Amino acid sequence: MPRNLNFKVDPKDPRLVMRAILGVLLLANVVGAVMVLKPFGGSAEDLRQERQTLEAQLAKLQQSVATSGKLVDKVQNAREDGDQFLEDFFMNEPTTSYVILEELTKDAKEAGVQMGQAQWNREPIEGSDNMFMLSMQVGFEGTYANLTKFVNLVDTSDRFMIIESMQAAAPQQQGGQRINVTLKIDTFVKDAPGVAAQ
């Protein structure tokens, strides 16, 4: 016949109270040992390394912010310079062809070359709604020295003109003293609303 096991716990038993106190103290010692050997926030060395890592990351981020600030300044300066360039060199008056023709006539006279008829062509600039390129083909005749002077005058003109191409030929009947040159010259114009192309 099985024995009936009957455990009775007497809360007033001093041995039981002492065992409970020893158990609580043992548990407190284990928790204390874990906190000393492996603190929850990390050891002093771990915290030092983490601080150094965070300081290095902060320095990199500050450097990145400073670099970005410089780039923003450069972009702003470039935008202002671009706007000033457009203001200075892109003509917006409806008489653009007349102004360019007048400038070339003045330069040709100063250089001692004869200017022929001009042909104009308006071409849109890709990516812009209000700007276009005005191309002109015009012939000039003169000596090599005179034509060189003329090209230099066009190059140093206050007007923004680009000599895109140049074709030269020496007429046989004049013994090669004079040269015929055909220039393709480009200039840029801001399209004014309601103004017809010139």
Which two tokens mark 88? 């200075």
> What is the domain partition of the chain in residue ranges?
39-89, 96-190
Question: Given a cut of 70, is residue 58 above it in pLDDT?
Answer: yes
Question: What does the pLDDT look like over 14-23, one tens digit per residue?
Answer: 887 888 888 8
Question: Cα dihedral sign for 54, 56, 60, 66?
Answer: positive
Question: What does the pLDDT look like over 136-174, one tens digit per residue?
Answer: 899 999 988 999 999 999 888 888 888 889 888 877 665
Q: pTM for this one?
A: 0.55
Q: What is the CATH number of domain 96-190?
A: 3.30.70.60
Query: Is residue 144 exposed (0-12), middle (13-18) or buried (19+ Cβ within 10 Å)?
Result: middle
Q: What is the mean pLDDT of the chain?
A: 82
Instruction: Quickly state the pLDDT bin for 78 (edges 50, 70, 90).
Output: very high
Question: Given a cut of 80, is residue 194 above it in pLDDT?
Answer: no
DSSP per-residue string spanning 92-150? -STTHHHHHHHHHHHHHHHHT-EEEEEEEEEEEPTT-SSEEEEEEEEEEEE-HHHHHHH
Which two tokens mark 196? 């017809």
How confident is the model at residue 196, as a pLDDT? 45
Of the candidates 118, 112, 185, the residue with the CA atom closest to the CA atom of residue 143 = 112
Strand partners, 166: 183
